[in-house]
Amino acid sequence: MAKLYFYYSSMNAGKSSSLLQADFNYRERGMATMLWTAELDTRSEGMVRSRIGLDARAHLYRPETQILDDIRAAHAVTPLDCVLIDEAQFLTEAQVWQVAAVADEIGIPVLCYGLRTDFQGALFPGSAALLGIADALVELKAVCHCGRKATMNLRVGEDGKAIKEGEQTEIGGNDRYLALCRKHFSAALNG
């Protein structure tokens, strides 16, 4: 039975490199995969990219993308063995149900990788839906500067100080975000 997996963490835990490793493992065995990433992440340019330099071409999704229909069409041409989705926090709730249908109705495992929470500690809509319905939840570990497990994403300005308000999504990497434990996240926001 195919399952829907959600691999989640703070930033800098290796989500994209884990996705690319899983994709490599399938392909090395002669199996067909389909990769997806969010069009919203303008840094990706149609690629899943890891900080350690690995990358692979991916299909882009936006809120109106009918992922289930696109996967069915691709599967009819070349039977797929796995679907891998990067930046899964940007999926809509409806898209999460669509990828669940890929596992349940078509029988293809779906591996989603994404952030659990935003810079204010709130769940992203896609992450909330995945946490609610995924068959398997896997936390990937990142490390705070103190050595504790990093679970939070602190948005910082050019001055390095915490940003407390703003849109939920602002694309950026190490230049805009720090992965911190809850203690240091709270101290930065309240400092």
Position 148 scores a pLDDT of 95
Q: Is residue 90 within 8 Å of residue 58, measured between CB atoms? A: no
Q: What are residue 189's phi and psi, to 5 degrees? A: -70, -30
Q: Is residue 173 within 8 Å of residue 4, measured between CB atoms? A: no
Position 87 scores a pLDDT of 94
Domain 4-141, second-level architecture: 3-Layer(aba) Sandwich (3.40)
> What is 25-81 written as a DSSP string?
HHHHTT--EEEEEETT-TTSTTEEE-TTS-EEE-EEE-TT--HHHHHHHHHHHS--S
Q: What is the pTM of this model?
A: 0.91
Query: Which residue ranges in the chain fall short of pLDDT 70?
Result: 42, 44, 166, 168-175
Domain boundaries, the chain: 4-141
Interstrand relation of 149-150 and 142-143 (parallel, antiparallel or unpaired): antiparallel
Position 33 scores a pLDDT of 98
Q: Is 64 exposed, middle or buried (0-12, 13-18, 19+ CB in 10 A)?
A: exposed
Residue-averaged pLDDT of the chain? 91
Please identify every residue annotated as catalytic. Answer: 87
Position 170 scores a pLDDT of 63
What whole-number distance in Å separates Cα of residue 34 and Cα of residue 57?
9
